[in-house]
Chain A
Amino acid sequence: AQSVTQLDSHVSVSEGTPVLLRCNYSSSYSPSLFWYVQHPNKGLQLLLKYTSAATLVKGINGFEAEFKKSETSFHLTKPSAHMSDAAEYFCVVTRTGTASKLTFGTGTRLQVTL
Chain B
Amino acid sequence: DAGVIQSPRHEVTEMGQEVTLRCKPISGHNSLFWYRQTMMRGLELLIYFNNNVPIDDSGMPEDRFSAKMPNASFSTLKIQPSEPRDSAVYFCASVQGAGSNQPQHFGDGTRLSIL
Q: Do A and B come from one complex?
A: yes
Question: Which of B33, B42, B108, B111 interacts with A100 by CB under 8 Å?
Answer: B33
The answer to whether B104 touches A104 (Cβ under 8 A) is no
- Least CB distance from A90 to B in Å reads 7
Q: How many of chain B's residues have a CB under 8 angstroms from any CB in A?
A: 27
Most chain A beta-carbon neighbours within 10 Å: one of B50, B56, B100:
B100
Question: Which of B50, B91, B97 interacts with A43 by CB under 8 Å?
Answer: B91
Q: Which residues of A contact B102 (CB under 8 A)?
A: 99
Known contacts A41-B108, A104-B42, A107-B42; A98 and B99 CB within 8 A of each other:
yes
Sorting the interface of chain A by its residue count into under 10, 10 to 19, 20 to 34 or 35 or more gives 20 to 34
Known contacts A98-B98, A99-B95, A104-B42; A43 and B4 CB within 8 A of each other:
yes
Known contacts A43-B108, A44-B106, A100-B48; A32 and B101 CB within 8 A of each other:
yes
- Least CB distance from A43 to B in Å reads 4
Question: Which of A43, A97, A98, A99 interacts with B103 by CB under 8 Å?
Answer: A99
Residues of B within 8 A of A (CB): 4, 31, 33, 42-43, 45, 48, 50, 55-56, 91, 93, 95, 97-109, 111
| 6 pairs of residues in contact across A and B, judged by CB atoms under 8 Å | A42-B109, A44-B91, A49-B103, A99-B95, A100-B33, A107-B42
